[in-house]
Amino acid sequence: MTRSTQAVTNAAPACVPATGAMSNMVTLGAGCYWGTEKYVRKDFQQKFPGSVKKATVGFMSPNPNAQKNPSYRAVCSGSTGHVEVLEVELNDPNKHYEELLRFFFMFHDPTTANRQGNDMGTQYASYIFTYDDKQAEIAEKVKKEVNSLIAKDAISTYEQGEVKTKIGKANEFYPAEAEHQDYLAKNPGEFCCTTGEGFQLCV
């Protein structure tokens, strides 16, 4: 996988939702962010037209005190603790947030900790970053349902027998360079380990 190593410099603060309302921001790590973007921008949008207002690939760390403005090369080394993520802005989070999380568990393997295919390291973690308590509650519910389906052998395409996806509070998001945005659409022959092949989830 060949990517630019230009430093990321345009940091954006985490969204703070209005009191009493679920945030319309969603940040997901599912291995290579190129694949995550492709499945959300193209496939999720086909399933739920008009659901996504904006989607941006970049980096987020579970640690609020992590290095600021990490370069792509630094993130790829696994030394910064940042995860390759897709930050999504939904038009109607009450309608589509839970649907997006269910879709999230369909296009990558959440049972392989810090790995998707040949991509290995903490930067490829399966991660749901949440912006409020309601999002966290829904994320925990969906994760529990997926684990239940695995235990019942209703899902047999995952590599292991337990979901390793982490759920935690969103921190500062750092967008990747412009050339990384919508990368697979611009480079359809490029390889990406987030394949989305074979996973069946009916919850």
Are 85 and 170 spatial neighbours (Cβ–Cβ below 8 Å)?
A: no
Q: Does residue 32 have an active-site annotation?
A: yes
Count of CB atoms situated within 10 Å of the CB of 104: 26
- What whole-number distance in Å separates Cα of residue 61 and Cα of residue 174? 10
Which of 141, 131, 200, 137 has the alpha carbon at shortest distance from 172?
131
Strands 126-130, 166-169: pairing kind: parallel
Query: Phi, psi at residue 152, to the nearest 5°?
Result: -90, 5
Considering the candidates 15, 32, 76, 193, report the single residue annotated as catalytic. 32
- What whole-number distance in Å separates Cα of residue 177 and Cα of residue 35? 16
- What whole-number distance in Å separates Cα of residue 69 and Cα of residue 6? 11
Question: Which active-site residues does the annotation give?
Answer: 32
